[in-house]
Amino acid sequence: MSTVTENLAKIDTKISTILDNPDDIASYKIGQKSVNKAEILAALLKAREIYQKLAEKEPYEDIRAFAYEIDDFGIDTSELIGDSSV
């Protein structure tokens, strides 16, 4: 299952593709059927706005470092580092 940030990246990629080649979003009509590809950009922008709001509400934790320690006897004491109950 995709995360909110992954979906935002996908939407941004699609928007960037459209902006790089705007000829692909031309609207046309064949007989009684019509295709309005210009609505794709509007839908992507609306979806991006929704996902951006979700991303701002989603809890985010960036872990860049963690404490890991093994004492001289090979016992892992990582979980005890900074533990006030010890």
pLDDT in tens, 5-60: 899 999 999 999 888 887 777 788 888 988 787 788 889 999 999 999 998 887 76
Per-residue pLDDT reduced to its tens digit, 60-83: 665 655 667 788 888 877 765 555
Give domain status of residue 46, yes or no.
Answer: yes
Which class for 17: exposed (0-12), middle (13-18), buried (19 or more C-beta within 10 A)? exposed
- Residue 86: the pLDDT is 47
**Does 77 fall in a domain?**
no
Does some domain include residue 9? Answer: yes
Q: Is residue 28 part of a domain?
A: yes
Q: Which domain holds residue 49?
A: 4-57
The verdict on residue 14 lying in a domain is yes
Residue 44 near residue 51 (C-beta atoms within 8 A): no
First to last CA, the chain: 40
Give the pLDDT score at 63: 60
Indicate whether 71 belongs to any domain. Answer: no
**How many domains does the chain contain in total?**
1
Q: Is the dihedral of CA 5, 66, 82, 80 positive or negative?
A: positive
